[in-house]
Structure 1
Amino acid sequence: MNTPSASPSPRFAAIGMVVSDMAASLAFYRRLGLDIPTDADTAPHAEAQLPGGLRLMWDSYETARAVDPDWTPPQAGAPTGLAFACADPAAVDKVYAELTDAGYAGEKAPWDAFWGQRYAVVRDPDGHGVDLFAPLA
């Protein structure tokens, strides 16, 4: 009796975001340490390799509409969110201050969260929440 060979399970490989201004979005994520080539600023699609083999991908509104002509942008503050680990609690404060001083919207200033982390939330240019965190000492 032949049994079909088991196919490998899909592997989580990437997180994708659709952005209104590619250059502005990539500039924000470069400030968080992602290595994104500057020539990607004018491309319809960009990617950054993340630790562990994941990729973070950006597509322009035009690219999204090329895939689905009925696509419409989500409201600002859509539930997509990313989180960046900082070296220590002081780094959470420093990165938050650097981003808000550069004009990015702070959603929640750094605080000591009850779950044992220094935490803050800032918005990227498209309104996606970006969490900054580090374990409390």
Structure 2
Amino acid sequence: MTPRFDLIGIVVSDMAATLAFYRRLGLEFPAGSEDQPHVEAALPGGLRLAFDTEATISSFVENWEPPRSSGRISIAFHCETPAGVDATYEELVGAGYHGELKPWDAFWGQRYATVADPDGNGVDLFAPLSTPAGG
């Protein structure tokens, strides 16, 4: 048997705030999920993104404490065009989320920006700067 990558899990402080943020990025969650201790969203390709409250994790991990600084995980959303990166960044920052890195033309050939989710996780927004020939 070979293990199959299936799920990315994130521990959250405020489920409602987290779901509001990720809904703005197009993820779908069942109505009433804001009050649940564990919530999942289906991702393209069959993966799942799961959110668990701090209380949920504390219920089975003895002496668990939330990290004192931002984590080492980031999630990236493809915005299709450079203008899409700019528009998504402005929409999120305009809604009160913290812009970590304003949109810029990265040396690796992408328009790139980062916004922090409600728990301080980096959420990258990107799009290719140009379309490959024939694409």
TM-score grouping bracket, smaller chain normalisation:
over 0.9
1:32 correspondence with 2:62: no
Q: Give the equivalent residue in structure 1 for 2:47.
A: 54
Q: Does 1:104 align with 2:105?
A: no
How do residues 70-109 of structure 1 correspond to structure 2 at under 5 angstroms? Answer: 70-109=63-102
| 5+ residue gaps, structure 1 | 1-7
The counterpart of 1:136, out of the listed 124, 129, 132, is 129
Distance 1:32 1:76 in 2: 24
Q: CA deviation at 1:77?
A: 1.8
Structure 2 unaligned blocks of 5 or more? 131-135
CA distance in 2, matches of 1:113, 1:23: 33
Is 2:66 aligned against 1:63? no
**What TM-score does the superposition give when structure 1 sets the normalisation length?**
0.93
Aligned partner of 2:3 among 7, 10, 16:
10
SS of residue in 1 equivalent to 2:32? helix
Q: Cα distance, 1:98 vs. partner?
A: 0.1
Q: Choose which of 5, 9, 34 in structure 2 pairs with 1:41.
A: 34
Shift of 1:80: 1.4
Q: Which residue in 2 is equivalent to 1:19?
A: 12
Q: In the aligned structure 2, how far is the partner of 1:83 from the partner of 1:76? A: 20
User: What number of residue pairs does the alignment pair up?
Assistant: 130
SS at match of 2:84: helix
CA RMSD in angstroms, aligned pairs only: 0.7
Q: How far off is 1:114 after superposition?
A: 0.2
Write out per-residue CA displacement over residues 103-132 of structure 1, whole angstroms, 9 at most, x where no aligned residue.
000000000000000000000000000000
